[in-house]
Amino acid sequence: FFGFGSALGALTVSSRRMPRRYLTTMMAMWGLGSVPLIAVGVTSSFPLMALATFCIGVTDGAGMVIWGTLLQRRVPTEMLGRVSSLDFFVSLAFMPLSFAIVGP
């Protein structure tokens, strides 16, 4: 259900104009998208978990489209590969640290 939500969020955002306050919109999407994780953690109801992961997917997909667009618009072309690589590396490098802090 996450994948369906992510596709819907990405298609919705990419088919419209970039929001004027794109950083605020992106951070709001990702922030609001973390709220349904509470439902995943406290319920054993499959339909509720499916709805929660769908909502997480919508906000994650929308935020990722804004982030990708932001990178391509703001980073000089000759630096885009390096910046994208660093972005991906840092995201993956801190994953074990987040697991150590929060738990699996």
Residue 93 lies in a domain: no
Name the average pLDDT for the chain.
Answer: 93
pLDDT digits (tens, 9 = 90+) for 40-80: 999 999 999 999 999 999 999 999 999 999 999 999 999 99
Residue 91 lies in a domain: no
Q: Name the residue range of residue 55's domain.
A: 2-77
Residue 98 lies in a domain: no
Contact 53, 45 (CB under 8 A): no
Contact 77, 90 (CB under 8 A): no
Can you give the pLDDT at residue 56? Answer: 96
Residue 21 has pLDDT above 90, yes or no: yes
Can you give the pLDDT at residue 28? Answer: 95
Residue 94 lies in a domain: no
Residue 60 lies in a domain: yes
Q: pTM to 2 decimals?
A: 0.81
Tally the domains of the chain.
1
Contact 61, 7 (CB under 8 A): yes
- Among candidate residues 76, 66, 62, 61, the one with its CA nearest the CA of residue 3: 61
